[in-house]
Amino acid sequence: MSHHQRLRVLVVVPTLGQRLPTLERTLGSLRTQSGVAVDIVLVAPVATDALQSMASRFEAGLVVDVGHISAAINCGFRTAGPDHHYVTWIGDDDMIPAGALARSVAQLEQYPDASLCFGDCHYIDASGSSMFTRRPPPGAGWLMQFVPGLIKSETCLFRHVAVRAAGGLDEQLRYAMDLDLILRLRAVGRIVRCRAEQGVFCWHPGSITVANRELSFAEAQAVQRRGSRGFARLAVPLVQPFLKRLFLVMSRRIDRQHVRAA
C-alpha cells in the first residue's frame, strides 16, 4: 500500500434524499477514486430505507442531522477519525473526477503548510451534458475577497487540522459557507492549486445556489466584507455594487445557454 493510500480522505455528502439518481452518480464518482483511501458519510434529515440502501451499496456511513447544509457538513466532519488527514464535501448532484482526490492529496503532502487545495471546475447540465470548464485566475485566493465563486468547493480538498483550527463551517450561513471557510483558512495556511479538473458542478434550476442566486450573492458579499483584509477591506465595499450587476448578467447568460442546450 502506497503512502497516499494510507492517508484517508473523508468525503461528506449532505442530502435531503430527494435526488437518488444524481446521488447515485455522485457516490459512483467517489468510488472511482484511486491512489488514496476514501471514506464517505451521507448526512440527511431522515434515514429513509432508500438512503440506507444507497449507503450500503457504496459502503458509506449514514448519519441524521436536521440542520441545514452548513450544519449537516459540520456533522459529517465530526465523524472524522484520527486517520482522516483530509476532508471535503460534495453536493448530491455534483461529482469528483477520477483521480482528483489523489492529485489534491499529493499537492497537500508536498506543501505541509497548506490548508487547502483547489482546481478547475467542469460544469454540466441536468442531463449530464458538458457545458464549460471554469479555470480560476492567478491569485484566485486573494481575489475571492472581491469575486465569489472563483474557487468552487466541489474542487477543494481541506486539511482536516486546518478546518478544525478555523472552527469549521459557519452554521449561520446557507449559501456562502464555502467562501467564508476559504477566506478564514487563509489565516491558517497557504492555498495551493492543482491544475486539473478537480470537481464537476451540475447547473440546474434546483441547485441551491442557482435557485437562490440573489440571496446567495448577497450572503457572499456580506462574507467578503467581514473576511477581507488589508487594502481589500477598504476596496471591497466600493466595488461590490458593480460586481453584483456583472454577476447577475453572467448568470443569466449561463441560464440562456442552458435553455438553448436543452
Judged by DSSP in three states, 156 sits in coil
CA distances from 13 to 32, 64, 187, 259 (A): 16, 12, 26, 28
163 pLDDT above the threshold of 90: yes
Judged by DSSP in three states, 228 sits in coil
Q: What is the pTM of this model?
A: 0.87
> 248 or 90, which is more confident?
90
For 51-206, list the strands marked E by DSSP. Answer: 61-64, 84-89, 114-124, 130-134, 157-159, 190-202
Q: What is the pLDDT of residue 214?
A: 75
Q: What is the pLDDT of residue 1?
A: 45
Question: Per the structure, how many domains does the chain have?
Answer: 1
What torsion do the CA atoms of 121, 79, 69, 183 make, to the nearest 10 degrees? -60
Q: What is the pLDDT of residue 210?
A: 54
**Helices and strands, counts by H and E, the chain:** 11, 8
Q: Which residue, among 148, 122, 151, has the nearest Cα to 250 in the 3D structure?
A: 148
In the chain, what is the greatest distance between 2 CA atoms, to the nearest angstrom?
53
pLDDT in tens, 164-189: 999 999 999 999 999 999 999 999 99
Judged by DSSP in three states, 113 sits in coil
Q: What is the pLDDT of residue 228?
A: 77
Domain that holds residue 223: 3-261
Kindly state the cell numbers that stand for 114.
497548506
CATH number at residue 58: 3.90.550.10
